Amino acid sequence: MVDVVTSAALFVVSLAVLLAASDAFTSAAERIGLSFGISPFVIGVTIVAGGTSLPELVSSMLAVSQGASEIVMGSVVGSNVSNMLLVLGIAAVVGGDIRVIRELVEVDLPLLVASAVFLILAVWNSPFSWYEGILALAALAVYVHFTISEKDRYVGMLVEELVEDEPDAEQQPTAGPKTYALLLVSMAVVFGAAYVLVESIIDISGSLGIGTELIAISAVALGTSLPEVVVSVMAVRRELPGLAVGNVLGSNLFNSFLVTGVPSFIGDLAVPNSIRGYGLPVMVLVTVLYFFITQDREITRSEGTILLLLYVLFIMNLGTLL
């Protein structure tokens, strides 16, 4: 019992440190990008969007290297479901009705559905292997390229408006030695915290006799979704609903393509029956549901409430798999 409590405490602390270090790394990378004159919009769809998936990515890489590759799919599926049900649900209920711009409905949402279908087909009868990882990273590259080159100016204006709201937005930020030092130190802390996180997951799983993927799909996914909750609610309250939806879409696409693609080069990603038979089908169904409720280009408070109830149901059903 003492071992479980110790492992649980390490899990909570390492997760908190991982999120804080990831945020510091993303902020430093963003500032460095701005200092080189890179567009805030480009930074938003690359550095910031990828930064939200950094905890999942690093912990997944370390999980594969430690022989617990089943954590990867559990983390990806859990994070994607949490983003669509929990994050957007809270944002709609707390922040008010969320308007969805046309470009997200016509381009990003179909790609999000395609990413979910890709995952379930890739692991239907086999592990997720390196050649599927190549396909995933290629799809991510196409998405990022399209977003940078073709995305409607409206989205860029939203990101610019957020930057203009900052006190020092009138002058281009500079990146001194402290910024580069923060980048390196925070990256080192990310890897250290992720290592402890993976070890604590393995220890808790062994002590309680449950699959590591179930801890990843529930506790890890919930913890790593908390920053998205804050960002999305703030975006809606500041009347920037496009960022709230775009934050979730970008995070899910990076999860599906980047967080699975990179670790697959370290080793095949095992997919337990609980993920293949329950987690992935639920993720696909939720993605399709999300696609349909946004066709009227709005997520209402009532729809947000339904999303939250579905998330509770999702977690309750996970309990039957323990």
Spell out the SS3 assignment of 200-269.
HHHHHHHHHCCCHHHHHHHHHHHHHHHHHHHHHHHHHHCCCHHHHHHHHHHHHHHHHHHHHHCHHHCCCE
Rounded CA-CA distance 78/43 in Å is 26
CB 102 within 8 A of CB 244: no
Q: Which amino acid is at 181?
A: A
Check whether 314 has a pLDDT greater than 70: yes
Check whether 2 has a pLDDT greater than 90: no
**Mean pLDDT along residues 264-279:** 92
pLDDT band at 188 (very low <50, low <70, confident <90, very high): very high
**φ/ψ (deg, to 5) at 267:** 180, 160
Instruction: Name residues whose C-beta falls within 8 Å of residue 188's C-beta, 6 or more positions apart in sequence.
Output: none
Check whether 58 has a pLDDT greater than 80: yes
Chain segment 224-271, per-residue pLDDT in tens: 887 777 777 777 777 666 666 777 888 889 999 999 999 999 999 999
What is the pLDDT at residue 135?
95
What is the pLDDT at residue 257?
95
H or E segment to which residue 103 belongs? helix 102-103
Question: What three-state secondary structure class fits 38?
Answer: coil
Q: What is the overall mean pLDDT for the chain? A: 82
Strand partners, 191: none
Chain segment 68-112, per-residue pLDDT in tens: 999 999 999 999 999 899 988 888 888 777 777 666 666 778 888
Chain segment 15-51, per-residue pLDDT in tens: 899 888 888 888 888 788 878 877 665 676 677 667 7
CA 255 to chain centre: 5
What is the pLDDT at residue 183?
87
Cα separation values, 177 from 119, 165, 167, 171, 191, Å: 41, 26, 22, 19, 22
What is the pLDDT at residue 81?
94
pLDDT band at 172 (very low <50, low <70, confident <90, very high): low
- Residue 263, both tokens: 């670790």
Rounded CA-CA distance 163/165 in Å is 5
**Mean pLDDT along residues 49-61:** 84
Check whether 160 has a pLDDT greater than 60: no
Tokens 């998205």 found at: 228
pLDDT band at 126 (very low <50, low <70, confident <90, very high): confident
Tokens 């308007």 found at: 99
**Mean pLDDT along residues 53-81:** 91
CB 25 within 8 A of CB 51: yes
What is the pLDDT at residue 151?
53
Residues constituting the chain: 322
Whole-model pTM? 0.83
**Mean pLDDT along residues 48-62:** 84
**Mean pLDDT along residues 51-63:** 87
Higher pLDDT, 163 or 31: 31
Cα separation values, 144 from 148, 259, 283, 319, Å: 6, 15, 22, 37
Higher pLDDT, 240 or 137: 137
Other CB atoms within 10 Å distance of the CB of residue 16: 14
